[in-house]
Amino acid sequence: MILTIDVGNTRVSMGAFKGDELVFTSAMSSVRNRTRDQYAIEILEIFSLYSVDRSDFEGAIISSVVPEMSNTIRDAVEKAINCKPLMLGPGVKTGLNIRVDEPSQVGVDFVALSVAACRRFKTPCLVVDLKTATKISIIDGNNTFIGAIICPGVEISVKALADKTSQLPKISITAPKKVVGKNTIDCMASGVVYGTSSMLDGLCDRVEKELGQECSVIATGSFAQGIIPHCKREMIYCPNLIFEGLKIIYDKNMGK
């Protein structure tokens, strides 16, 4: 089995593959001051929950957008499965063509998602990743990553409203029945859910106009299910796209 791990600002997500089959996914909270052993214990507890033995794993790959956690998670995974994980970054073969100003600065999450999208979908395509930040990867018809868009995520927006205003509360990210809110909660929820969905529709339109081509749109990330049903544009929901991309990259580097 192969363990794939995506370290994000809010969650550390993992997916385990047996061959090409994704047998389970799980997640832990991203806590920057946790130790290697604390994460290793939690990883082993997750294995137990899904009736998987640590000895079943022959390798692992990690993508991390939180540098201060990267070494801790790497060491925790090595301790949990007794295999040194592959860290996605410079020097790792991905097979993805990248044409931007500074290719070395492209986030590893962009890379893994784009690799999976190129394998699974017709290009040109856009990959909308709705997590702590809302990100859109742009892949042209030659399977080349040509750029991206980064916006504040829905959770950041809600937190900013609550933290930076005197009278607005924290709310759950759930769509109200109507766009026009009649109370504070519904007004805020409308702005976050319908505002984000309208933003995504508009950005996709602008990208297509700039490219001069229609694009398929793939959506992933922890907030995708709550947002994309309210988009006018059709989006393909792929919750495990990051794990698929990491598995493809692992296999490429292991000569499989």
Query: Where along the chain do its domains lie?
Result: 2-87, 97-244
pTM, entire model: 0.94
Q: Which of 192, 152, 132 is nearest to 168 (CA)?
A: 192
CB atoms within 10 A of CB 95: 12
Confidence at residue 145, expressed as pLDDT on a 0 to 100 scale: 98
User: CA 125, CA 57: separation in Å to the nearest integer?
Assistant: 33
Spatial contact of 3 and 76, defined as CB atoms under 8 Å apart: no
* Residues of the chain above pLDDT 90, percent: 93
The CATH code of the domain at 97-244 is 3.30.420.40
Residues 169-202, buried b or exposed e (16+ Cβ, 10 A)?
A: eebebebbeeeebeeeebbbbbbbbbbbbeebbe
Summarize pLDDT for 194-244 with one digit per residue, the tens. 999 999 999 999 999 999 999 999 999 999 999 999 999 999 999 999 999
Nearest-CA neighbor of 1 among 81, 94, 89, 84? 81
Count other Cβ atoms within 10 Å, centred on residue 66: 16
Determine contact, residues 242/109, Cβ cutoff 8 Å.
yes
Residue 159's φ and ψ, nearest 5 degrees, are -65, -40
How far is Cα 29 from Cα 198, in angstroms, rounded to an integer?
A: 29
* pLDDT for position 255: 84
Tokens encoding 47: 């294995």
| Homologous superfamily of 2-87 | ATPase, nucleotide binding domain (3.30.420.40)
Q: What sign does the dihedral 82-31-244-87 (CA atoms) show?
A: negative
How far apart are the C-alpha atoms of 236 and 228, rounded to whole Å?
9
Quote the DSSP letter at residue 61.
E
Q: Which residue shows structure tokens 């409308």?
A: 190
Q: Verify whether residue 129 is a known catalytic residue.
A: no
Res 256: pLDDT:
75
What integer pLDDT is reported at residue 172 of this predicted model?
Answer: 85
Annotated active-site residue in 6, 109, 129, 186: 109
Which regions in the chain score pLDDT beneath 70?
Answer: none
What's residue 137's pLDDT? 98
